[in-house]
Structure 1
């Protein structure tokens, strides 16, 4: 067996393992917890049978949270891997370059200053993410890479200041409404919101699959990609899709910290050092399902926002990644 064949086999095994982990995490989130379901009961309720109490808990609480966790995880995991592939930097996730915070700041502004709610706030969040990403790209120029990450960090810090100012001048009730735009939460998930996010992914993911054919060339660098006939505009289009994936997820659940950031490096490690959008998406979905399970049951009678759990894990992960980069003379 050649080296190439062995690597290809490892990647297939890794994807199969991630698929199995995804199914197991989804089953655990739906079937286990403080109110458990058997597999037969799950499918009986899913296909319309009414079981007192059980039907309500499954269809209005557990299942919508699990489905939302999957969709948000897929969106953020894909976006994180895409950013890191295009910018050739393991720190270049939507969390780091300001996209998530741009959406959050716009959402908080809509809630606290304009008094908007629900879908109108989501629209503001998406617009905020797109505008901030455009500002970061414009200030960073065409060099990309570490310059874009540094500019993104600066813009993200500015967005934090905006959010803090808005919170400081608002009353307590309005601040409570804005909290989901600060930490990320799957609490009180509604099926219509899930439907909108699912529709967004149904449009963006196939578009990404078409555009991603240029990724092998773009990973070689802008000059090499240009020599292969792939222009810089393709990079900008792919980044825009990544921004929209992030914005859709943030609009639905708030800025769930570090999922996009963690998904890329974990997927790359499992895939033997090779980037994979599919692996990144699966890792993101698994991380969201596990984090939401912990958020729901870590503290009895208390349901934490999922962003608290992902932030608690992602912060040390970032420090570890930086420490490993310092030890090996590289980042990531």
Structure 2
């Protein structure tokens, strides 16, 4: 009798958590839908929703068609896809390494992409396509170096974070040097790229990012159960039958690829990968994978921050400036909290 009551109690809790997950995920999707329409409707000229809808359906309306099809739609899609990629990729790293500091911004992966992009812009003067390709390759190379330099007899989260922070510092120094020796006319383009921006987004930049989000997101979700088990620790995951090395490699490669491709399109939008996972976890709670909610939070952060940067101030700011203003205080708060708990000692 007691066993039956225990099972019923557990199942009731599971149903409650599932219901919460569905409600929160649905609310995030609805908010994202509203922000997408806001990106399409708002600008120097506010267009009626009927005109925008007709343009999206293929009709030509003087003035509206060019603004929506060539400027607002690519900007909205770039923010949507990149934000989702940063959110789900950052959450995967934080969950897998069991540390909120273990995200691509802090451990140097996006910095590797940035260094390659700045080198191509200020030294090689290459096209945007080459800059994007170089940033992708550099992101993958950076995570390979971090993994090799931090490898030992056993897997160590702390070692990965410390090596990543060291590589990030080195790459930031390289970026500063490149900006000092670069030609004056190339510096603004490099700084715009480094700040993370949706300005100048083009439809022809999006297919590869779209394919990566559509293909890699199911892989991350499919391994979500194993990802949650990895949170229990190396020995516990191994005893439960998880092939930890293969699972970790697949998750790392999937996350790095999706983040590197997003960085290639928008630049390293600050703190989105860092904030999305913890916010999603607070909203949906525990018990179910928060990969999709983290992606939705990331997309919401990027689109909302871009709208704030465009219309909340007299001067228009890139989206990365706004997300940096939001994320920096949270990073300080997190470091203080972890230090009090002794997690940084």
TM-score w.r.t. length of structure 1: 0.94
Give the Cα–Cα distance (whole angstroms) in 1 for the partners of residues 341 and 64 of structure 2.
53
Question: Aligned partners of 1:271, 1:210: CA distance in 2, in Å?
Answer: 19
Given candidates 266, 272, 276, the residue that maps to 2:290 is: 276
Q: Which moved more, 1:205-214 or 1:144-153?
A: 205-214
Contact 2:52/2:64 (<8 A) preserved: no
1:51–1:71 distance in 2 versus 1, CA, 3 Å: same
From 62, 70, 74, the equivalent of 1:64 is 74
Partner residue of 1:157 out of 162, 165, 169: 169
**CA gap 1:328/1:12 in 2 versus in 1, 3 angstroms:** farther
Q: Which has the larger radius of gyration?
A: 2
Q: Aligned pair in 2 of structure 1 residues 100, 206: CA closer, same or farther (>3 Å)? A: same
Deviation at 1:70, TM superposition (A): 0.2
Residue 136 (structure 1) aligned with residue 146 (structure 2) = yes
Distance in 2, Cα, partners of 1:68 & 1:121:
17
For 2:47, the equivalent position in structure 1 comes to: 37
Q: Which residue of structure 2 lines up, in the alignment, with residue 14 of structure 1?
A: 24
Q: Deviations over 1:290-328 (max 9, x none)?
A: 01111222333x432211111111111111222333455
8 Å CA contact 1:97, 1:155 repeated in 2:
yes
- 1:86 paired with 2:99, answer no
| Higher mean C-alpha displacement, 50-59 vs 89-98 | 50-59
* SS in structure 2 at match of 1:66: helix
- Give the conservation status (yes or no) of the 8 Å contact 1:180–1:253: no
Write the deviation string for residues 215-265 of structure 1: whole angstroms up to 9, x where unpaired.
233222222222222221211211111111110011111111100000010
Aligned to 1:239: 252
The correspondence of residues 217-232 of structure 1 with structure 2, limited to 5 A, is 217-231=229-243, 232=245
Q: Quote how far apart the aligned CAs of 1:33 are.
A: 4.0
1:258 aligned to 2:271? Answer: yes
Q: Tell me if structure 2 keeps the 8 A contact 1:214–1:234.
A: yes
Task: State the shift of 1:84 in Å.
Answer: 0.7
Q: CA deviation at 1:15?
A: 1.1
Question: Which region of structure 1 is more displaced relative to structure 2, 246-255 or 289-298?
Answer: 289-298
| 2:268 aligned counterpart, secondary structure | coil
Identify if the C-alpha distance between structure 1 residues 152 and 214 changes in structure 2 by more than 3 Å, giving closer, same or farther. same
Cα RMSD of the aligned pairs, angstroms, is 1.8
Contact 1:259–1:288 (Cα < 8 Å) also in 2: yes
Which residue, 127, 142, 166 being the options, matches 2:178?
A: 166
The two structures have a TM-score, normalised by structure 2, of 0.90
Q: Return 5+ residue gaps in structure 2 as ranges.
A: 1-8
Q: How many residues end up aligned between the 2 structures?
A: 330
Distance 1:327 1:27, change over 3 A: farther
Please give the alpha-carbon distance, in whole angstroms, between the structure 1 residues aligned to 2:25 and 2:343: 27
The structural deviation recorded for 1:329 is 5.4
Partner Cα separation in structure 2 for residue 97 and residue 4 of structure 1: 35
User: Tell me, what secondary structure is at the counterpart of 1:179?
Assistant: helix
Residue pair 2:196, 2:318 contacting (<8 A) in 1 also: yes
1:248 to 258, 261, 268: 261
Cα gap change, 1:251/1:35 in structure 2, threshold over 3 Å: closer, same or farther? same
1:8-55 per-position Cα deviation (integer Å, ceiling 9, x unaligned): 222222112111211122222222343222222221111122211112
